[in-house]
């Protein structure tokens, strides 16, 4: 899925458009918080839950994109709409933005490159070249955006908190320190000019276009009929038919 600075850059671009006028730090934290499960044990099952991915297929091989959107919409209705605490609400909106960013990364980057490269590549051969380029270009993005320092300051000033069975404060804290002190502590320039697949123009297009797509999806959440929906772990029934939206 998308790298963490990619998540935070897209969230940063949405601050004004989502009318996040206060608690911006918690919004930015929410935009990366679902990935904090990597700092927990048995992270894969926790990642499916933190990314609202239940009943969507194996992680990395999405079988039902409609279900993923239904899960995210159900989360929006259950947590964002009903939350009166502005700090928590900003955090929850950040989580929604995170999951929608990964949804579009799955379609626009992960699946798009697979369609171009498989065949002749096998899926394992594709992963072998994709993952290093994906990691490198996320760090390249950090060095090539104007607001990186402000984003990291917002992240630094955010406050970790447990969130039901989704996220643990201790894991979020570990993730924050890793992002600030290690992952994006980059003394040397990152060069992606030799990339064969995930190139700079593809990343630029992604961070340019995805905020508009997310805004449109959130508007649909807000304007939808007020049907009471429950999350999958609350016995919310979803369609299991394989679907792939057009991009």
Model confidence pLDDT, tens digit, residues 110-153: 999 999 999 999 999 999 999 999 999 999 999 999 999 999 99
Sign of CA pseudo-dihedral 225, 228, 230, 235: negative
Residue 41 confidence (pLDDT): 86
Residue 102 confidence (pLDDT): 98
The pTM assigned to this predicted structure is 0.91
CA distance 89 to 95: 10
Half-sphere exposure of 177 (CA within 13 A, CB side): 7
Residue 229 has pLDDT above 60, yes or no: no
CB-based contact 14:214 (threshold 8 Å): yes
CA max distance for the chain = 53
More confident residue, 240 or 140: 140
Residue 224 confidence (pLDDT): 76
| pLDDT-derived band at 85, boundaries 50, 70, 90 | very high
Model confidence pLDDT, tens digit, residues 21-62: 899 999 999 999 999 999 998 888 899 999 999 999 999 999
Omega cis (within 30) before 119? yes
Per-residue HEC secondary structure of the chain comes to: CCCHHHHHHHHHHCCCCCCCCCCHHHHHHHCCHHHHHHHCCCHHHHHHHHCCCCCCCCCCCCCEHHHHHHHHHHHHHHHHCCCCCHHHHHHHHHHHHHHHHHHHHHHHHHHHHHHHHCCCCCHHHHHHHHHHHHHHHHHHHHHCCCCHHHHHHHHHCCCCCCECCCECHHHHHHHHHHHHHHHCCCCCCCCCCCCCCCCHHHHHHHHHHHHHHHHHHHHHHHHCCCCCCCCHHHCCCCCCCCECCCC
CA distance 207 to 151: 15
Cα–Cα separations (whole angstroms), residue 8 to 1, 58, 220, 244: 13, 25, 22, 26
Residue 235 has pLDDT above 70, yes or no: no
Residue 239 confidence (pLDDT): 42
CA distance 177 to 155: 10
CB-based contact 33:45 (threshold 8 Å): no
More confident residue, 113 or 244: 113
| pLDDT-derived band at 225, boundaries 50, 70, 90 | low
| pLDDT-derived band at 226, boundaries 50, 70, 90 | low
Residue 237 confidence (pLDDT): 40
CB-based contact 52:68 (threshold 8 Å): yes
Model confidence pLDDT, tens digit, residues 170-211: 999 999 999 999 999 999 999 999 999 999 999 999 999 999
């Amino acid at each position: 899925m998308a790298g963490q600075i990619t998540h935070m850059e897209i969230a940063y671009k949405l601050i004004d458009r989502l009318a996040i006028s206060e608690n911006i730090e918690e919004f930015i934290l929410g935009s990366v918080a679902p990935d904090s499960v990597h700092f927990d044990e048995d992270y894969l099952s926790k990642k499916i839950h933190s990314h609202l991915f239940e009943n969507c297929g194996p992680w990395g091989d999405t079988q039902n994109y409609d279900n993923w959107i239904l899960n995210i919409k159900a989360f929006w209705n259950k947590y964002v709409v009903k939350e009166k605490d502005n700090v928590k609400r900003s955090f929850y909106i950040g989580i929604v933005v995170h999951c929608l960013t990964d949804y579009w990364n799955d379609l626009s980057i992960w699946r798009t490159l697979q369609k171009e490269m498989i065949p002749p590549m096998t899926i394992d051969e594709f992963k072998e070249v994709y993952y290093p380029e994906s990691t490198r270009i996320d760090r390249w993005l950090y060095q090539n955006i104007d607001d990186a320092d402000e984003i990291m300051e917002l992240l630094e000033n955010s406050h970790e908190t447990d969130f039901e069975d989704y996220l643990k404060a201790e894991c979020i804290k570990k993730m924050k320190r890793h992002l600030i002190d290690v992952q994006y502590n980059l003394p040397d320039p990152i060069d992606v000019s030799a990339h064969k697949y995930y190139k700079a123009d593809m990343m630029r297009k992604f961070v340019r276009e995805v905020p508009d797509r997310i805004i449109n999806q959130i508007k649909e959440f807000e304007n939808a009929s007020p049907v009471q929906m429950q999350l999958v772990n609350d016995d919310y029934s979803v369609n299991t038919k394989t679907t792939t939206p057009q991009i």
